[in-house]
DNA sequence: AATTAAATGAAAATTATTTTTATTTATACG
DNA sequence: CGTATAAATAAAAATAATTTTCATTTAATT
């Protein structure tokens, strides 16, 4: 994700194209890893002639609401974010618990019938979360694991 | 969920059968709603000759780890818990954003190929999250909505 | 009944997140 | 290209969620 792409995304969403937003997007988009708001902040606060943590929170929240970035849910009660390079079609992700890497799952793996069933019953579906957790191929390999694992 | 059932579940997990754990389980199991740790605490703190909030957190966490209760993920960055009456087979839930009601989805709606695909690539799947959000049939009905909605 | 590992209480600490208000800035428009 | 204005951000402080610590109690075992 470069500034050009970030700019296009913000334009499409009718959001102002600000240096801070671009910086947050480029930060998240530079690697296929999930990060917390705090981690994003630490990585960019010295560029962009400094940015406040509350601003990072706001930007992440807006982008997540808009569907540009994906919230990653872990048991640690913190919120993480991931900016997927593939913004084209609806799909979900595999999340490596060891190295934080996020991989695309080809297409939305929700069985056809599922959303229909809810709707037939009279309810309305507004969104869904599908996240596969595990250990990626690299981390599963004894050698590769050590190289890939960050912490 | 009554104390008898709670007791059986704890026994099966090799966890001590304590009054506080039973109280937390009965509280969550009394209605098909998701609750926060704080909400569970408020509902039971005057029974059980008082219980501390940290204890509620601990119990909820243990039970979630053990798979007895389900974490409900919302955008508000808080953690919610749901104890499903149906402990028999693996399935997922529909969550009403309006009344907090949680409904079972028949069977795990994950397309067969999804988990396989990750495993074929050399990765290992340890868990998955599948949660459908929306507005339930009752809340979707103008009349019913008012009656069902709590806040 | 005694033993012991596990569970809990209570208080304090930590961490994540949000709010507020004043200031700045991107964009639209003349 | 300047100007107006709504939107975005800073900075500090506040809030709320969650965790830690350590002393005490209790469930389960013998």
What's residue A109's pLDDT? Answer: 66
What's residue A28's pLDDT? Answer: 97
Give the domain-ending residue among A72, A87, A102.
Answer: A87
* Cβ contact A65 with chain C strand, < 7 A: no
Is B64 in the same domain as B14? yes
What range does the domain containing A17 cover?
Answer: 1-87
Is B83 in the same domain as B93? no
Is B104 in the same domain as B82? no
State chain B's mean pLDDT as an integer. Answer: 89
Is A103 in the same domain as A69? no
Question: Is A90 part of any known ligand binding site?
Answer: yes
Residues of chain B predicted below pLDDT 50: 145-146, 149-151
Is A13 in the same domain as A45? yes
Q: What is the pLDDT of residues A127-146, one digit of tens each?
A: 999 999 999 999 998 765 44
Is A97 in the same domain as A81? no
Give the domain-ending residue among B87, B108, B139.
Answer: B87
Residues 6+ apart with CB under 8 A from A80: A34, A35, A36, A71, A72, A73, A74
- Closest nucleotide (C1' vs CA) to A52 is D10
Is B105 in the same domain as B67? no
What's residue A49's pLDDT? Answer: 76
> Residue B142 is encoded by which pair of tokens?
């103008």
Order of strands across the sheet that contains B102-105: A102-105, A92-96, A124-135, B124-135, B92-96, B102-105
Is A107 in the same domain as A61? no
Nearest to B97 among A103, A126, A133 (CB): A126
> How do A124-135 and A79-82 pair as beta strands?
unpaired
Is A3 in the same domain as A44? yes
* Cβ contact A146 with chain C strand, < 7 A: no
Cα(A64)–Cα(A69) distance, rounded to whole angstroms? 5
CATH number of the domain residue B117 falls in: 3.30.1490.190
Question: Is A42 part of any known ligand binding site?
Answer: no
Q: What is the pLDDT of residues A61-105, one digit of tens each?
A: 999 999 999 999 998 888 999 999 999 889 999 999 999 999 998
Give the domain-ending residue among B87, B107, B135.
Answer: B87
Q: How many CA atoms lie within 13 A of B21 on its CB side?
A: 22
CATH number of the domain residue A41 falls in: 1.10.10.10
Task: Tell me the chain A residues in contact with residue B122 when contact means C-beta distances shorter than 8 Å.
Answer: 136-137, 140-141
Is B114 in the same domain as B60? no
What's residue B108's pLDDT? Answer: 77
Cα B69–Cα B71–Cα B77 angle in degrees, nearest 5: 155
Cα(A70)–Cα(A131) distance, rounded to whole angstroms? 10
Residues 6+ apart with CB under 8 A from A116: none
What's residue B143's pLDDT? Answer: 66
Q: Hey, is B48 helix, strand or coil?
A: coil
Nearest to A135 among B77, B113, B126 (CB): B126
- Tell me how crowded residue B5 is: count the other CB atoms within 10 A of its CB: 15
Cα(A48)–Cα(A18) distance, rounded to whole angstroms? 10
Is B95 in the same domain as B64? no
- How close is the nearest chain B Cα to the Cα of A42, in Å? 20
Cβ <8 Å between A111 and B111: yes
What's residue A85's pLDDT? Answer: 94
What's residue B144's pLDDT? Answer: 53
Q: Point out the annotated binding site of B.
A: 90, 96, 99, 128, 136, 139
Is B36 in the same domain as B60? yes
The total number of residues written for chain B in this structure: 151
Question: Is A26 part of any known ligand binding site?
Answer: no
A113 touches chain B (CB under 8 A): yes
- How close is the nearest chain B Cα to the Cα of A129, in Å? 5
Count of domains for chain A: 2
């Amino acid at each position: 994700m470069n500034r050009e792409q970030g700019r296009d995304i913000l334009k499409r969403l009718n959001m102002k194209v600000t240096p801070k937003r671009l910086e947050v997007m480029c930060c998240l988009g530079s690697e296929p890893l999930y990060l917390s708001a705090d981690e994003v902040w630490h990585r960019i606060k010295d560029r962009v002639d400094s940015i406040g943590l509350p601003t990072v929170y706001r930007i992440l929240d807006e982008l997540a609401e808009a569907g540009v970035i994906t919230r990653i849910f872990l048991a640690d009660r913190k919120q993480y974010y991931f900016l997927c390079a593939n913004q084209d079609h609806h799909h979900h992700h595999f999340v490596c618990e060891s190295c934080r890497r996020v991989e695309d799952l080809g297409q939305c793996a929700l069985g056809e019938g599922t959303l229909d069933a809810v709707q037939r019953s009279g309810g309305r579906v507004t969104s869904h979360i599908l996240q596969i957790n595990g250990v990626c191929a690299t981390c599963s390999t004894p050698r590769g694991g050590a190289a890939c694992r960050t912490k």
